[in-house]
Structure 1
């Protein structure tokens, strides 16, 4: 039986304790950590690379949605939301083969969620699917996605994200640490926030990002000004450590160019 390295994220200690007790009945679940807020959860994710996260949505400071936005697409674990939402969560998650648990969590429903995750080990939900579900929840209704080619623009020294359903966001290039892709979605990461826009990486690159940005993976662009060091891995790959201690993988395809620029 394959074991699932599992992380529990919820700001309510009683909720984590109750879920942990119920999960102890499932031999395939190996709880490797617990977190009560997003930043602590991200630290555990970077350290242990969990296979599965039981994730609360409503938490003080940053929500469960913010945690999802921080995950790298190529290493996105299975996500089971633990939520009080129900009106649109059912449609969003069922359509996209994700799962959710309504509080208080029932053991029978928990068993169904674990079975679903176990059966999808070789076809895990992608970050694109999770973001699409989050998009439906945050909009509050099922809508056709806007044209990804027109959801952003680049003007002078700022990236302008335009979404007809959200306020226009103007993000200075100097504030952007890295950008990662999840299908038709792009996550733009700054020190404090993550902005999601419907766009494709190739379209963003065609718009000619400043010279300080370099592609380091098929799904990742980094701002070179925020790289503090490179750590060599096997097969000519590297880890790029950013100014906020975020660790990004540099694939062999792009490692030579990055090393030549930084050294």
Structure 2
């Protein structure tokens, strides 16, 4: 799922930094930014974004930016956008929690914090869909909605690789990793087969969500197929194969994310 977002911050340099960080995630779509309370409120009511990055301790007090903006939104909106506070003040975190913000990211912004925030949003959406498909909830929902939601959950992502009239269908769950080859991409499947798609690796980075993670300029890996990560040698091992995929320092934060996600599951460290 994609999330449209607005940035509300009185510091224009901070706005640019937040946008630069957010725009590196294909799931986040920028709408606009505001530098004060009134402009921010008007933007939210006009565009109804799904996500707001909000500074609550402005350097310019005349901007009136604070958590009170959230209270004002309740006067006009039935559904309040997800709020991610971005500020340098640690001591405002507890107060922000009382306003039920989605996340609290300290400045200077770090990419790993954005990764965690995006994953948390996805997890929240997944839980909402699960709630909607709960039989006790569905009693009051139209049958068409029930069918649509159940279908969305059950059906896997199918990639169609087209070439000169040939339509090749791939279940995304069968992809181990993708490797760049100039302006094309080699897709390696769990059965050992390799299929070439005439799209760049950057294209696939934009359309494939987690568990697909970019770990190198030349590689995107399906983290479900990682059996071993050797941080000293900077390589990942792929399950049931002899393949070793390198990762680069510039994507080390994504490797940390994979390690963190694996350890958050049914996990025992020996």
TM class, shorter-length: 0.3 to 0.5
Q: Report the structure number with the largest CA radius of gyration.
A: 2
Q: Which has the higher helix share?
A: 2
TM-score, structure 2 length as denominator?
Answer: 0.42
Higher RCO, 1 or 2 (CA under 8 Å, sep at least 6)? Answer: 1
**TM-score in terms of structure 1 length:** 0.43
